[in-house]
Chain A
Amino acid sequence: MPTYRDAAIVLRTYKLGEADRIVILLGRTRGRIRAVAKGVRRTSSKFGARLEPGMVVDVQCYEGRNLDTITQADGLAPYGEAISHDYPSYTSASVMLETCEQLTEEGAPALQHFRLLAGGLAALAAAEHDPRLVLDSYLLRALAIAGWRASFADCARCGMTGPHRAFHVPSGGVVCPVCRPPGSTAPAPETLALLSALFTSDWSVADASQRRHRSEASGMVAAYLQWHLERGVRSLRHLERTP
C-alpha cells in the first residue's frame, strides 16, 4: 500500500468506534488529509497526545480506499497544549482551525494556508498579543489567500484612492461616496486603521489599539467571514474576548 510522510497541523478530531479517532490534518505538501488513528483513545497509545487539535506533527500514513491510516506521528510543535491553558486563546484557535478546514480541500496543496495557520497558532501559544487580534489578523489573511482580500483604504468597487469612511461587507471593504451602497456602515477611522494593521501584521499599531476599536474590528471581520463562508463558522458563536 502506498505510504507518505508530511508535516501537518491537526485541525479537528472526532471519535470513531471504541478507541479510534478520525483526524483531519492540513499537510504541508498534501493539503487536507483525513486519516484514522487507531487505538489512540486507549491509554497505551504512543502518539495520541500528538494528534490533538493545534499540534504540528511529522506524520506517516498509508493510503486507504476511503480513509488513510496514521502509522506514526512525531511532535514538531505542541501549540495546542499551551493554547488549552488560556480560554480566550482556545476559543480563538477553534475559529482558526475551523476556518482553515473550510478554506482548504482534501488532496489540494495549500502551502500558504499551512504557513499562515502555523504562524497564527504559534502567536496564540506565545501569548504576546490579545488572542482576538491574532485571530482577526489570521482571518483577514486567510480570506485573502482564498481570494477575498478586503480593502481598508481604496474603494473596493471602483478603486478610487482612499481613505474612505464607509464600509460594505458584500462589496469587499471600504467604499467611496459615489459607490457607497445602502446598508454601508461607518466605522471609526481608528478601526479601519486597526484592520489594515492586522492585515499587514503591523503589531505595534495593533497592540496599541483601544478596546472599542478592537471590538468594532472583530465584528466587521466576523461579518466578512460569515459572508464568504456559505456554511458559516460554528465556533464563532463561542468566541470569548480577553477579560
Chain B
Amino acid sequence: MYEGVVQDLIDELGRLPGVGPKGAQRMAFHLLAADPEDITRLAEALLQIREKVRFCEVCGNVAEAERCRICLDDRRDPSMICVVEQSQDVAAIERTREFRGRYHVLGGAINPIGGVGPEDLRVRELVARLADGEVAEVIIATDPNLEGEATATYLARLLAPYDGVRVSRLASGLPVGGDLEYADEVTLGRAFEGRRMISTGPTG
C-alpha cells in the first residue's frame, strides 16, 4: 500500500480491463516519473472522452454527436444492418471495406450466467429500426463463440416474422472462440462475402 493519491491512482488503473495489481503499480510509477506535459495530455484526453464521446442514438456506436459518422453518411446503404456486440467490432469490419451498410451495436451478448439477457442489450432498438420497412437484410456478426452463436439464434428467431427482412450470419471460417475484433481483414471480409441466410422472412 502507498500513501493517499498514489494508491488512489493504482486503484483506478487496476480497475481497467486487462490490468492486474502489478501492472497498475507499474503504470502508476511510470506516470509519476513522466514528463508533466505527457500527464496533462493524458488527463485532457480522459476529460475529452467524458465530455465529447457519447453513443449514437440510432445504432449505439461511439459518436461525437447525437448520431455517429456512419449513420450520418447518406452514401451508406440503409437497407442493410450489421449487428455486432461492441463498437470495436464496427472498427474491425470497417477495416475490411467489405460492408457499405449500417450497424447496430448490441452492447454485448446474451450470457445468462453473467446475468445478461436480451432485455439488457439494445435488442428493442434493433427491432424498432425495422419498423419503416426500409431494411432488407440484417447480418448478424456476433462473436464466433457460444454466447455469440446463442445471441444470433435468439435474434434470428425474433426477426423471422418480419416481412421482407432477410437474416444472415457471417460464414463460419472465423476461428471459434476468438474475438471478432482480432479477426484479420481478409478472413473477416471472406466471412462477409460467404454469409449464409438463416431466415428470409415469412413471405421469403
On A, residues with C-beta under 8 Å from B are: 12, 14-19, 21, 40-45, 47-54, 80-81, 83-87, 90-91, 94-95, 97-98, 234-235, 237-239
Contacts and interface: CB of A to CB of B under 8 A. Distances in A.
B175 A48 contact: yes
Contacts of A18: 18
Contacts of A239: 112
- Which of A14, A52, A80, A95 has the largest count of B CB atoms less than 10 A from its CB? A52
A48 B178 contact: yes
Contacts of B88: none
A40 B178 contact: yes
A91 B115 CA distance: 11
B176 A94 contact: no
Given A18-B18, A40-B177, A234-B115, A84 B153 contact: yes
A59 to B, nearest CB: 14
B15 to A, nearest CB: 14
B112 A87 contact: no
Interface string B147-190: 00110011001000000000000000011111100111001000
A44 B187 CA distance: 12
30 contacts: A14-B114, A16-B18, A18-B18, A40-B178, A41-B177, A41-B182, A42-B182, A43-B178, A43-B184, A48-B177, A48-B178, A49-B177, A50-B177, A52-B145, A52-B146, A53-B113, A80-B146, A81-B146, A84-B149, A87-B157, A90-B150, A90-B153, A97-B113, A234-B115, A235-B113, A235-B115, A237-B115, A237-B117, A238-B110, A238-B112
- Which of B150, B176, B182, B183 has the largest count of A CB atoms less than 10 A from its CB? B150
B149 A41 contact: no
Contacts of B179: 19, 41
Contacts of B182: 19, 41-43
B153 A86 contact: yes
Contacts of A90: 110, 112, 146, 150, 153
A45 B117 contact: no
A80 to B, nearest CB: 5
Nearest to A55: B146
Contacts of A15: 17
Interface string B19-49: 0100000000000000000000000000000
B192 to A, nearest CB: 15
A104 to B, nearest CB: 15
B175 A49 contact: yes
Q: 5 nearest interchain CB pairs?
A: A48-B177, A49-B176, A235-B112, A84-B149, A94-B112
B112 A234 contact: yes
A235 B187 CA distance: 34
Given A41-B179, A52-B145, A87 B113 contact: no
B176 A48 contact: yes
Given A41-B182, A48-B176, 15 more contacts: A15-B17, A18-B18, A42-B182, A43-B174, A45-B175, A48-B175, A48-B177, A81-B146, A84-B150, A90-B112, A90-B153, A94-B112, A234-B113, A237-B112, A239-B112
